[in-house]
Amino acid sequence: MRIAVDAIQVLYGSRSDGRPNKRRPERNSLRFCGIMAGMTSAVPPLPVSPSPAVPACERCLALAADPRRREPPSCLALRHTAPQVGQSSTGVPYSMLTFCCRDCGTVWRLYDRANELFVSWVPEHPLVR
């Protein structure tokens, strides 16, 4: 058992008497912060103002008119392969898939709730006609 405790102390750099572990060099916390001075992010910043809305295509407008249909229109492309699983505020489990329209760029979320016959298609943003 003492060997396991010694191994943990070597890994984590502490000893039971509070003195620093001499087997592991001490890191300077000011030198290692994850971001070096002068570095900029490669990720572009989010736009400050929303981009101009693109009108929804006819198929997206038809889907908005009948949001309970199970089969997606041919213009929708699946964004992620695995569904996101969650639970509503009332405790009903659901799964969600995200689709994007190839024609107009509208992002749709397909919600499939447990023990319900129909699904629901919800646009990420209100549709522009």
How many angstroms separate the CA atoms of 55 and 75, rounded? 15
The whole-number pLDDT of residue 55 equals: 87
The whole-number pLDDT of residue 30 equals: 47
The whole-number pLDDT of residue 127 equals: 86
pLDDT at residue 25 is higher than 50 = yes
58: which 2 tokens? 């006819």
Residue burial 8-28, b: 16+ Cβ < 10 Å; e: rest: eeeeeeeeeeeeeeeeeeeee
User: What does the pLDDT look like over 100-125, one tens digit per residue?
Assistant: 999 999 999 999 988 888 889 999 98
How many angstroms separate the CA atoms of 128 and 55, rounded? 5
Using an 8 Å Cβ cutoff, are 119 and 110 in contact? yes
State if pTM tops 0.75: no
The whole-number pLDDT of residue 32 equals: 46
Q: With cut-offs at 50, 70 and 90, classify the pLDDT of residue 35.
A: low
